[in-house]
Chain A
Amino acid sequence: MLKYIKGNLENIDGVEIYPIISLVIFFVFFVALFWWVFTTKKEHIEEVSNIPLENNPKDDIL
């Protein structure tokens, strides 16, 4: 069954480019992510961290 896929993909020249592309994607993504982490506003972080706690204060039943 896999013979069908195999026959077609085998003919791709220079298939080694794909792992290189992977690495580039990883790298760029994480550089951008860290940029965001270091530049985002503190108040936004405060607001978002408190989302689970916004609900009712009747949470001390235990």
Chain B
Amino acid sequence: MQTEQFYYDNKIVKKFVNATIFWGIVGMSVGLLLAFMFLFPNVTDGISWLSFGRLRPLHTNAVIFAFVGNAIFAGVYYSSQRLLKARMWKDWLSNLNYWGWQAIIVGAAITLPLGYTTSKEYAELEWPFDIAIAIIWVAFGANLIGTILKRRQRHLYVAIWFYLATFVTVAVLHIINSVELPISILKSYSVYAGVQDALVQWWYGHNAVAFFLTTPFLGLMYYFVPKAANRPVYSYKLSIVHFWSLIFIYIWAGPHHLLYTALPDWAQNLGVAFSIMLIAPSWGGMINGLLTLRGAWDKVRTDPVLKFMVVAITCYGMATFEGPLLSLKNVNAIAHYSDWIIAHVHVGALGWNGFLTFGMIYWLVPRLFKTSLWSIKLANVHFWVGTLGIIMYALPMYVAGFVQASVWKQFNPDGTLMYGNFLETLNEIIPMYWMRAIGGTLYILGAFVMLYNVVRTVRQGGEVTDELAEAEPLQRVTRKRTAKEGYHTWLERRPVKLTIFATIAILIGGMVQIIPSLIVDDYVPIISTVKPYTPLELEGRDLYIREGCVSCHSQMIRPFRSEVERYGDYSRSGEYVYDHPFLWGSKRTGPDLFRVGGKYSDNWHLNHFYDPQSTSSGSIMPSYKWIINSKLDKSQTEDKMEAMITLGVPYSLEEVERAQEWMAEQGAQIEKNLYADPDFVKTYEADKKYAAENGEDFVEMRNREVVALIAYLQRLGTDLKIKSPDEVTLTKNQ
């Protein structure tokens, strides 16, 4: 049989490896800056594009999509060519994938700090980027599937199914969660609202973890661990069983992000049940990965690549045990909104994703550059420093989470909260934030050590060239050969059918959980007193989104005695029906704001934005002076209201027509309220006089951004005025 000669594309792998290391360091640096902002909240004061709320999404997007994303491409491009014995289908698609992805990242790095955000976690990029992501992702998938179709290895190794499932599912998740109505080139509103938006968002969010942070990495594990250990995978059968059960079950776990919120009980319970079931397939992966090393544990002592991989897989096991436990309602009641969740995320991200990436890089770089690693010692130093970093990150955050949660819930014997002031709960955990910052510093230090080692390795190596390979083309499958094969083997030879079945598998969970929320009328009971936001409040809400307030403040009061005591009546699903997008939040670095309306005077809010420490001693909130000085842009208000009408919010056309007038009235009222504070009057009048004397433009308070934000905050939670039980439509969904 005639063999064919062809070349594996190594240059594209090199490009992706470079991008992985570069963006990894960038993303981790932003993370480190954020960690230090907890300790020095005023470190970037006055610079809006370096404030915490604006930078947090930059960190998450950079580490997930730029660091892990490029690592996925590097690993998939390297391994799939060799597993399929074919060069990538189209070089131009490979390059489109690479350059397109980096362009999106650069765009993110510019737009996110400038406040262009949808506020939906790990989907913050606005709609032009969503379209770009879809195009580049399809290019990636087309390239992968094209390569599969022209392969010379008939059987699809398990890693390839993981890659296929990744491609298909991420495409579905991204498209459905990104359905939004654009207002302008960089602003859009989610078509979903309130509870539905929360459900779609966390179906997406959890499955981003599953199918971006887990399945591609399991694929990479199934290739690079056997390569590094030079042993076959422990149990191929186990890999098949856990692959299918993982992709079936993972999709349903999304509601575990919404336990004890206003999501209907049956949806919450489904999420819990499936999250618990998820332990089995996840640990199937861990067991397979670790036991692949049986007989080769000796090598772990000397080989840093295997060290990284072993810790990575162990952290995967830890995180996938912890995750299901966190999905139990009683555990979740403690953990939600606290730093325990941050600990959990970083065990997975730093341990599983980070370390597996590092192991892969240390294995790949010498081979690409046809040399040996410049310093095994330094690689080991990286390993130990990084491991210590993970521990010093996670452990203090666990303690912080437990402390926060218990302190939030404690009552005095007379029924009042023991720690009535939220800031008292914050002060207790500052030492843990110090330790976390040190842990993060260690971790990034390790990455710098890797950078140095890689640079030295590259310098001593040769140029990266495409690798010559030889293989027989696939023979036509005759009936004689297939006579005795099982049906899964039959399936492995049909990648397109395999992909379609995988797609069906992942769609089921999403459809069962999401479709009822869209079609069932009384899914969200209507509360008659809940009305849409006024135009000024809508503008204020968009400022809340722009500044990323949702990163530190939640807007969802759970039905616990301690929360009702601290924040007011618990949240009803009907109160969020006009919230496009929802702003329930995931973390309480600061208090919940759902019923902050009417709690503080307009002056308090102004002073708090000007200098949070002045009204709240010990607060770590940064100041927002630019909101107080900037003019509110009212040029898009009518467009925003019209978009909301399209999305089902009942504004009347008359209300849209008098929007400017309405905003001026409401703004003037707030300005009048602010005059209650003589200090404000003094400064404001002085500023006005100064501007008049010097011929400068003066923006009246009623037209400034802070007034819109105050209007929004003062509205929050005030619509729930139940006078009689008849006013609220009851539902059996409780």
Contact = CB atoms under 8 A, between A and B. Distances in A.
Tell me if chain B binds chain A. Answer: yes
Interface of A: 1-3, 5-6, 9-10, 15, 18-19, 22, 25-26, 29-30, 32-34, 36-37, 39-41, 44-53, 55, 59-62
B318 to A, nearest CB: 26
A36 B490 CA distance: 11
A47 B485 CA distance: 14
B549 to A, nearest CB: 27
Nearest to B226: A52
Contact of B488 (A6, A36, A49, A51): A36
A29 B486 contact: no
B191 A2 contact: yes
Contact of A49 (B233, B366, B376, B520): B233
B244 A22 contact: no
Nearest to B372: A61
Contact of B241 (A3, A10, A33): A33
A51 B648 contact: no
Q: Which 10 A-B pairs have the closest CB atoms?
A: A49-B232, A9-B519, A51-B157, A49-B236, A36-B488, A37-B237, A45-B236, A52-B226, A40-B486, A22-B508
Contact of B519 (A5, A44, A50, A51): A5
Contacts of A1: 181, 191, 646-648
B297 interface: no
Contacts of A25: 508
Contacts of A29: 244, 248, 505
19 contacts: A2-B518, A3-B648, A6-B518, A9-B519, A15-B519, A19-B512, A25-B508, A26-B248, A26-B508, A30-B244, A33-B240, A34-B241, A40-B237, A41-B486, A47-B155, A51-B155, A62-B303, A62-B305, A62-B363
B153 interface: yes
Candidate in B157, B222, B232, B366 with the most chain A CB atoms within 10 angstroms: B232
Contact of B515 (A9, A33, A37, A47): A9
A60 B349 CA distance: 29
A42 to B, nearest CB: 10
B245 A30 contact: yes
Contacts of A46: 232
B227 A59 contact: yes
Given A25-B508, A37-B240, A53-B232, A6 B363 contact: no
A53 B226 contact: yes
Contacts of A22: 508, 512
B366 A61 contact: yes
Interface string B505-520: 1001001100110111
Given A3-B648, A5-B518, A40 B489 contact: yes
B367 interface: yes
A25 B508 CA distance: 10
**Interface residues on chain B, size class:** 35 or more
B83 A62 contact: no
B42 interface: no
A10 B523 CA distance: 12
B139 interface: no
Interface in B120-160: 153, 155, 157, 159
B241 A62 contact: no
Contacts of B223: 52
B487 interface: yes
Nearest to A60: B230
A48 B520 CA distance: 48
Contacts, number: 103
Given A29-B244, A52-B227, A45 B303 contact: no
Nearest to B248: A26
Nearest to B373: A62
Contacts of B625: none
Interface string B234-259: 00110011001100100000000000
Contacts of B508: 22, 25-26
A18 B227 CA distance: 44
A14 to B, nearest CB: 14
Nearest to A6: B519
B512 A44 contact: no
Contacts of A33: 240-241, 244, 488
B694 to A, nearest CB: 50
A28 to B, nearest CB: 12
B82 interface: yes
B654 interface: no
B4 interface: no
A36 B230 contact: no
Contacts of A62: 303, 305, 362-363, 366, 372-373, 376
A44 B489 contact: yes
A10 B232 CA distance: 52
Contacts of A51: 83, 153, 155, 157
B667 to A, nearest CB: 31
Nearest to A51: B157
Nearest to A2: B518
Nearest to A58: B367
Contact of B227 (A3, A41, A44, A53): A53
A43 B489 CA distance: 13
Contacts of B647: 1
A37 B241 contact: yes
Nearest to B515: A9
A10 B521 contact: yes
Interface in B328-374: 362-363, 366-367, 371-373
Given A33-B244, A61-B372, 15 more contacts: A2-B518, A6-B519, A9-B519, A15-B519, A22-B512, A25-B508, A32-B487, A36-B240, A45-B236, A47-B155, A48-B155, A52-B159, A53-B226, A53-B231, A62-B303
Contacts of A10: 519-521
Contacts of B486: 36, 39-41, 44
B481 to A, nearest CB: 12
Contacts of B372: 61-62
Contacts of B371: 61
B135 to A, nearest CB: 23
Contacts of B488: 33, 36, 40
Nearest to A26: B248
A2 B648 contact: yes
Interface in B535-555: none
Contacts of A32: 487
Contacts of B376: 62
A25 B509 CA distance: 12
A53 B518 contact: no
Nearest to B371: A61
A28 B74 CA distance: 37
B83 A52 contact: yes
A59 to B, nearest CB: 7
